[in-house]
C-alpha cells in the first residue's frame, strides 16, 4: 500500500503571508511590540510546510 503524497503549497503560501506580516510589524515602530502576535502563524505554517506536524 502506497502513501498518498499531499500538496503542501497552501501551507507555504500561508507561511510567506505570515512572514510578510511579521516583517511589516518589525519595520513599523508603532507595531513592533505586537510582532509576537504574528510569530505563532509563522512557526505553525513553517512546520506544516515541512510536514513536521
Q: What is the pLDDT of residues 1-53, one digit of tens each?
A: 566 677 889 999 999 999 999 999 999 999 999 989 999 999 999 999 999 88
Q: Is 42 in contact with 18 (CB distance < 8 Å)? A: yes
Find where cell 502563524 sits: 41
Global model pTM greater than 0.85: no
- Residue 2: per-residue pLDDT: 60
Burial (0-12, 13-18, 19+ Cβ within 10 Å), 38: buried
User: CB atoms < 10 A from the CB of 42, how many?
Assistant: 20
- Residue 26: per-residue pLDDT: 94
Provide the residue ranges of all domains of the chain, joining segments of one domain with +: 9-49
- For residue 37, what is its C-alpha cell? 502576535
- Residue 28: per-residue pLDDT: 93
- Residue 4: per-residue pLDDT: 67
Amino acid at each position: 500500500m502506497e502513501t498518498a503524497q499531499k500538496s503542501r503549497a497552501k501551507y507555504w503560501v500561508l507561511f510567506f503571508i505570515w512572514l510578510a506580516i511579521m516583517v511589516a510589524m518589525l519595520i513599523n515602530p508603532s507595531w513592533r511590540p505586537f510582532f509576537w502576535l504574528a510569530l505563532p502563524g509563522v512557526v505553525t505554517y513553517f512546520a506544516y510546510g515541512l510536514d513536521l506536524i
